[in-house]
Structure 1
Amino acid sequence: MNAADGAVIDRRDDGPEEQPDVVETMTGFAWALRAAGVNAGRERLTTCLTALEHVDPVDPEAVYWTCRVSFCSEPDDQARFDAVFGRWFLEADPEDPEPASAGDAPIDRLAARRPPGAPGDRQEVVEEDPSSATEAADVEVLRHRDVALLADAERDEINRMIALLAPRVGRRRTLRRARGGRERLDVGRTVRAMLGTGGEPVRLVRDHRRDKPRRLVLLIDVSGSMAPYADVVLRFAHAAARVSPATEVFTLGTHLTRVTRQLRLRDPDHALSAAGAAIPDWSGGTRLGETLRAFLDRWGQRGLARRAVVVIASDGWERGDAALLGEQMARLARLAHRVVWINPHRGKAGFAPATAGMVAALPSIDDLVAGHSVAALTHVAEVIARA
């Protein structure tokens, strides 16, 4: 008899397996929220842990609203919170990279993550809604479907999923230093402080290296061969530009076009419309070598690509000189912190990087990843984050 038939599930029969600690569980949940773009810092985590002491940890609705009130401060945070909450507590293990759909209602699986010794070791009836299970299965199938084969209604759902992504890179240390920390004694400030104490080193002043967000640069091929995927990758770039001001977006075709300002617009549809109006060579030819050289000459060599994570989205069909593309890719690799290449055909059976452009660029690529589905773009966001 399954849960949908009203079977009684006794969690006391689970054996002597130790339940996870609530602090460890919520700390991991806060990290997952931060990766999704929610500002789940230490203060909000402390607030959430304090609030959870006053609710029943096996009451999923109470835990859901306690965490949501503690972590969400902006309207955009709510959809991301629901997606991470579903992945973390409801439909998958925390290590599972597949997110649950946003807006899932809390269910009793939260009880499996209650702190040790928490009240509520009792028999409970868990009922499963068949329509909800079917909807979740449909969403999971849609996440892995090639976006070039989608119907219009399915594409709307895919666009909503991509808007919930939060592709961002970490931070990098700079040469500038700031007061505080315990890294190094600041001799100059210490000596100046001694002037007011009669030459006695009453207080040693220390400093530390500052850090700043690492820049993310996306170069997106909008030629005719990339037409089925360019819109989706631009939406991915819009999600990245929304969560980090250190994101720059360019399109490649027969011309190089900077669309960062257009993709800063809040609404994805408005941003894509503005970008489309600014791109003069949409669905045109492909001259990756020439446009990449133009990017490096005008932007990359002057600092935009230095120590940045550069993501190129293209199928590698080069109409120009493939040798020029190889030279410019090697030049880019010397400037960038990491080079990631998204090929929408990478995730398909029988794929081989055999086009002239891919063969020329391959030696300078750090990560060659797929980009044909939402699941593939989710993996791209993880690759970017690890970089």
Structure 2
Amino acid sequence: MGPGRCGAGGTGPRPGPEEPPRADAVLLGFARALRAAGVDAGAERTHAFLRAVDALRPGVRADVYWAGRLTLCGDRDDLERYERVFAAYFGTADAPVRAVRPAPRPRLRPVLREAPAGSRTGASDREPQGPPVASLASSAEVLRHRDVAELDAAERAQLRRLLAAFALRGASRRSARRRPARRGTVDPRRTVREMLRHGGEPALLRRHARVDRPRRVVLLVDVSGSMAPYADALLRFAHAAVRGRRTEAFTIGTRLTRVTRELSHRDADLAMAAVAEAVPDWRGGTRLGELLRAFLDRWGQRGMARGAVVVLLSDGWERGDPRLLAEQMRRLHRLAHRVVWANPRKARPGYAPLAAGMAAALPSVDAFVEGHSLAALERLAAVVRGADAGPPRARAAGGKGAERA
């Protein structure tokens, strides 16, 4: 079961390194990278960012930095993510700030000077300082669409820096816990206590509302021989996800290994070294059906998969009985809120899910996406958040009812 065991799939031609993207495409790619890192850089903020850069100097790094920081960041928590994504996307040379500490906001003071005779006012101010931003980030924007298996050592290092800025959050669910709110249903206990404090006189109605919490995310990463070109990138994606709350990670091949604790290291390289020591079945075969049954028996049925978003990152090759995989996928489908399958082979021209394992699992999959590039992983993160278009498809029989709530 070596690396040659692969199917085909594709999404059409992708930009090559000889065709650098335009400046607006670079800036939009930067906004998408921020969204993947957990920054709420929606369409309105992105439009304000593009207008701010256009009003300043698009070719100057410092202007792009401050335009993005002042328009794309919504709260203090976004600043650290913005620093990491900006450094990974535009590089660290001649950075306006250090990635460790957020830079202070510039103070603008009007200065009146008399221009010397014969000089053009503002000519030197409008001259770009340093290389254009498009040339700085063109490699990062092209890299977003490149197949991970085709990258060289330098490109893989840049990909790792971009993956380190990722954030994965499950779709929100309405919990039973309530908290005080300005709008919502009346909270009788707090209202009565407020009236007692005023001697029984009528008081303002106190209200409460239910709390939205992210669902648990469970990642099952295939580390078999056929997935060897993608295993490092997918595990680094899992490392970025585990840094958040309510995320579990497992590796699957010939054995099932829980690697959540190993991936919890803050440093990505230390986490990868810990995973390498913990996983005994690198580049082996694939027993998806047996390992999925083992996961459900030991963890999933007891609550880890119940109401969670379960993501399988695999090419779907199966050495065992495909019927067992189909049975366990139906079982997982009944427990989980949503089942997502990311297949790196899906992006190759002419791909069709003809492999026995993939064909057996597909009827129980809610979303079937690609997983071959950074842009594909960004789309996967959007699917996990529930930001993709359309609800999960209807089932032919049954339904999840309260188990999916």
1:321 paired with 2:326, answer no
Hey, what does 1:21 align to over in structure 2?
none
Q: Displacement, 1:325?
A: 1.0
CA contact 1:223–1:284 (8 Å) conserved in 2? yes
Q: Hey, which of these two has a bigger chunk of helix by percent? A: 1
CA distance in 2 between partners of 1:182 and 1:72 (Å): 25
CA contact 2:33–2:378 (8 Å) conserved in 1? no
Residue aligned with 2:179, SS: strand
Aligned residue identity for 1:162:
L
Moved more, 204-213 or 159-168: 159-168
Hey, what does 1:91 align to over in structure 2?
none
Aligned residue identity for 1:79:
R
Aligned residue identity for 2:381:
A
Q: How does 1:364-379 map to 2 (within 5 A)?
A: 364-379=364-379
1:249 paired with 2:249, answer yes
Hey, what does 2:292 align to over in structure 1?
292
CA distance in 1 between partners of 2:191 and 2:155 (Å): 64
1:210 paired with 2:211, answer yes
Residues 49-96 of structure 1, C-alpha deviation per residue, up to 9 Å, x if partnerless? Answer: 9xxxxxxx636746734764886677664122456xxxxxxxxxxxxx
Q: Displacement, 1:341?
A: 0.5
CA distance in 2 between partners of 1:265 and 1:344 (Å): 26
Aligned residue identity for 1:250:
F
Q: Displacement, 1:153?
A: 2.6
Hey, what does 1:80 align to over in structure 2?
85
Tell me which of the two structures has the higher relative contact order, counting C-alpha pairs closer than 8 angstroms and 6 or more residues apart.
2
CA contact 1:250–1:256 (8 Å) conserved in 2? yes
Hey, what does 2:395 align to over in structure 1?
none
CA distance in 2 between partners of 1:132 and 1:192 (Å): 59
CA contact 2:36–2:381 (8 Å) conserved in 1? no
Q: Give 5+ residue unaligned stretches, structure 1.
A: 1-28, 50-56, 84-99, 107-121
Residues 340-382 of structure 1, C-alpha deviation per residue, up to 9 Å, x if partnerless? Answer: 1011100000111011111111011111111112222222222
CA contact 2:69–2:82 (8 Å) conserved in 1? no
The 1:340–1:197 alpha-carbon spacing in structure 2 relative to 1, beyond 3 Å, is same
The 1:230–1:63 alpha-carbon spacing in structure 2 relative to 1, beyond 3 Å, is closer
Q: How does 1:271-290 map to 2 (within 5 A)?
A: 271-290=271-290
CA contact 2:251–2:259 (8 Å) conserved in 1? yes
TM-score (norm 2): 0.68
Aligned residue identity for 1:369:
V
TM-score (norm 1): 0.70
Hey, what does 1:140 align to over in structure 2?
141
Aligned residue identity for 2:223:
V
Residue aligned with 2:282, SS: coil
Residues 294-321 of structure 1, C-alpha deviation per residue, up to 9 Å, x if partnerless? Answer: 1112222222122221110011111112
Residues 234-288 of structure 1, C-alpha deviation per residue, up to 9 Å, x if partnerless? Answer: 011111122x122111111222111111111111111011011111212122111
The 1:178–1:136 alpha-carbon spacing in structure 2 relative to 1, beyond 3 Å, is closer
Aligned residue identity for 1:361:
A
CA distance in 2 between partners of 1:127 and 1:31 (Å): 26
Q: Displacement, 1:324?
A: 1.3
CA distance in 1 between partners of 2:159 and 2:251 (Å): 22
Moved more, 356-365 or 298-307: 298-307
CA distance in 2 between partners of 1:128 and 1:310 (Å): 48
Residue aligned with 1:349, SS: coil
Aligned residue identity for 2:344:
P
CA distance in 2 between partners of 1:132 and 1:154 (Å): 19
CA contact 1:333–1:364 (8 Å) conserved in 2? yes
The 1:308–1:252 alpha-carbon spacing in structure 2 relative to 1, beyond 3 Å, is same
